[in-house]
């Protein structure tokens, strides 16, 4: 009877609103609150902050670990910044704690139910003393008119797009020369990973080599500014007039509520054909031999440089595809998508289009409304299709032009 009275007194003394946790008796009571900013009216691609407040009665032994389950159709990022300290009085009792913030970017419209955040409680030495969780948070996302949600949508108040060329396309070029195009996009409250891939196209007679993007984000007083730099090399295979197309980045302006486009204009490049000088038969043969030797050395040196560059690119492409292979083996749709974003830029235009076709089911699982299911067998099937894209086509069997050495007697 005495133990029952003591237990009843402890339950009645617990503060209202405090959440029960699976922890030993010495662990203090904990309150976990979750909120969204903005609480309503968010559009696809907009940064929505999910704030998780963890409050401890009287004192906080050590900042807890907070994680958020993955939500299909939402890109969830956690920036490595220090949590905000909190001090409050609830029902006459002092609470102290920290606020943790997650950045949410919806990739489709509709309603989301964000599962409760998982909180791991720690003692002063860092040992786990218990767990707690928040509440399910509803989020509704709208798709503005004119916005195509099938790709990565950017919704921000400020976006800039600049481009540069190395060397200038107005210069003199001949067949075999190259020019590098650099596209830089900067957006407020949008990380570089949330910006869409650039589809670099080129006319016939021009080869396109896209480097992996450079992603850099910076934070100033809680506001993240994302930057993505894409570099592509155009190699001119023959002479003539080459028209390199313009590029467009659509984005939704949160300030004016309108759809805007940031453009990078195309350019025209005049490429001269390589002329082979006529050889005068009356010139000394020694001079001709010197010209031939110099030509061989020049071609050989160019071949060595090209071979080294090709081998380096192949090694980087193999490393990127290994990440895709591991992600497909694990079967997580978000991990597969992130690995594909790193691997795709190493491909030329035709294989890249084949990858877009092969990943249609993955796009529906991540961005469709409602999202489709993604199963482990789909990851394995996708990996087989991607391996077929990487596998070079089998060469046709050589046709024998000589009779067999030992023909069979008839």
Residue range 241-267, pLDDT digits in tens: 999 999 988 999 999 999 999 999 999
CATH of domain 146-275: 2.60.120
Q: Please give the residue that has the higher pLDDT: either 150 or 326.
A: 326
Distance CA 383, CA 386 (A): 5
Output the pLDDT for position 187. 93
Confidence of residue 373 (pLDDT cuts 50, 70, 90): confident
Please check the confidence at residue 361 and state whether its pLDDT lies above 60.
yes
Owner of token pair 């509709």: 110
Output the pLDDT for position 366. 75
Both tokens of residue 386?
A: 């991607």
Both tokens of residue 15?
A: 């503060």
φ and ψ of 55, to 5 deg: -115, 135
Distance CA 179, CA 168 (A): 8
Q: Which region among 1-15, 200-214, 382-396 has the lowest average model confidence (pLDDT)?
A: 1-15
Taking residues 322-342, what's their average pLDDT?
86
Q: Which region among 139-143, 346-350, 386-390, 394-398 has the lowest average model confidence (pLDDT)?
A: 394-398
Please check the confidence at residue 350 and state whether its pLDDT lies above 60.
yes
Taking residues 372-396, what's their average pLDDT?
79
Q: How many CB atoms lie within 10 A of CB 125?
A: 8
Q: Please give the residue that has the higher pLDDT: either 218 or 68.
A: 68
Confidence of residue 14 (pLDDT cuts 50, 70, 90): very low
Distance CA 294, CA 212 (A): 36
Both tokens of residue 165?
A: 């060329």
Start-end of CATH 2.60.40 domains in the chain: 15-142
Sign of CA dihedral 11, 16, 20, 23: negative
Output the pLDDT for position 196. 79
Start-end of CATH 2.60.120 domains in the chain: 146-275
Output the pLDDT for position 8. 40
φ and ψ of 214, to 5 deg: -95, 120
> What interhelical angle do 360-367 and 376-390 show, nearest 10?
140
Owner of token pair 């890249």: 352
Strand partners, 30: 19, 56
Closest CA to 175 of 240, 267, 245, 266: 240
Distance CA 201, CA 204 (A): 10
Output the pLDDT for position 403. 52
**Parallel, antiparallel, or unpaired for β 137-142 and 42-43?**
parallel
Please check the confidence at residue 79 and state whether its pLDDT lies above 80.
no
Q: Which region among 8-12, 110-114, 210-214, 360-364 has the lowest average model confidence (pLDDT)?
A: 8-12
Average pLDDT over all residues of the chain = 80
Number of alpha carbons in the 13 Å side-chain half-sphere of residue 363:
11
Confidence of residue 87 (pLDDT cuts 50, 70, 90): very high
CA angle 165, 166, 167 (to 5 degrees): 110
Q: How many CB atoms lie within 10 A of CB 83?
A: 16
Q: Please give the residue that has the higher pLDDT: either 406 or 130.
A: 130
Taking residues 385-403, what's their average pLDDT?
61
Tens of pLDDT, residues 91-126: 889 999 999 999 899 988 999 999 999 999 999 999
Number of alpha carbons in the 13 Å side-chain half-sphere of residue 389:
23
Top CATH class, 15-142: mainly beta
Output the pLDDT for position 398. 42
Distance CA 96, CA 114 (A): 25
| Chain centroid to CA 15 | 45
């Amino acid at each position: 009877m005495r133990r029952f009275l003591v237990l009843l007194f402890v339950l009645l003394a617990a503060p209202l609103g405090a959440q029960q946790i699976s922890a030993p008796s010495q662990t203090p009571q904990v309150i976990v609150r979750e909120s969204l900013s903005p609480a309503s009216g968010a559009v696809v691609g907009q940064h929505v902050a999910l704030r998780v407040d963890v409050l401890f009665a009287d004192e906080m032994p050590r900042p807890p670990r907070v994680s958020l389950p993955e939500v299909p159709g939402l890109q969830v990022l956690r920036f490595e910044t220090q949590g905000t300290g909190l001090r409050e009085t609830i029902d006459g009792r002092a609470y102290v704690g920290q606020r943790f913030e997650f950045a949410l970017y919806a990739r489709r419209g509709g309603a989301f139910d964000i599962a409760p955040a998982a909180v791991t409680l720690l003692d002063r030495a860092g040992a786990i003393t218990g767990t707690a969780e928040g509440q399910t948070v509803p989020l509704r996302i709208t798709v503005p008119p004119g916005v195509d949600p099938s790709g990565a949508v950017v919704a921000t108040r400020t976006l800039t797009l600049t481009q540069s060329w190395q060397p200038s396309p107005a210069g003199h070029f001949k067949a075999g020369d190259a020019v590098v195009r650099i596209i830089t996009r900067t957006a407020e409250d949008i990380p570089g990973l949330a910006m869409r891939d650039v589809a670099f196209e080129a006319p016939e007679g021009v080869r396109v080599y896209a480097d992996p993007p450079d992603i850099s984000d910076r934070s100033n007083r809680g506001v993240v500014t994302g930057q993505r730099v894409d570099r592509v090399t155009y190699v001119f295979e023959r002479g003539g007039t080459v028209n390199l197309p313009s590029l467009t980045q659509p984005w939704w302006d949160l300030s004016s509520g309108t759809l805007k486009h940031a453009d990078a204009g195309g350019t025209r490049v005049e490429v001269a054909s390589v002329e082979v000088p006529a050889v005068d038969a009356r010139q000394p043969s020694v001079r001709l031999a010197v010209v031939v030797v110099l030509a061989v050395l020049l071609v050989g040196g160019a071949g060595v440089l090209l071979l080294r560059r090709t081998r380096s690119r192949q090694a980087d492409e193999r490393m990127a595809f290994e990440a895709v292979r591991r992600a497909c083996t694990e079967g997580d749709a978000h991990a597969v998508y992130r690995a594909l974003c790193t691997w795709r830029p190493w491909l030329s235009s035709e294989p890249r289009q084949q990858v877009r076709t092969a990943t249609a089911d993955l796009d529906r699982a991540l961005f469709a409304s409602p999202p489709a299911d993604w199963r482990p067998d789909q990851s394995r099937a996708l990996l087989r299709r991607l391996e077929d894209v990487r596998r070079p086509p089998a060469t046709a069997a050589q046709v024998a032009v000589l009779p067999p050495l030992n023909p069979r007697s008839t």
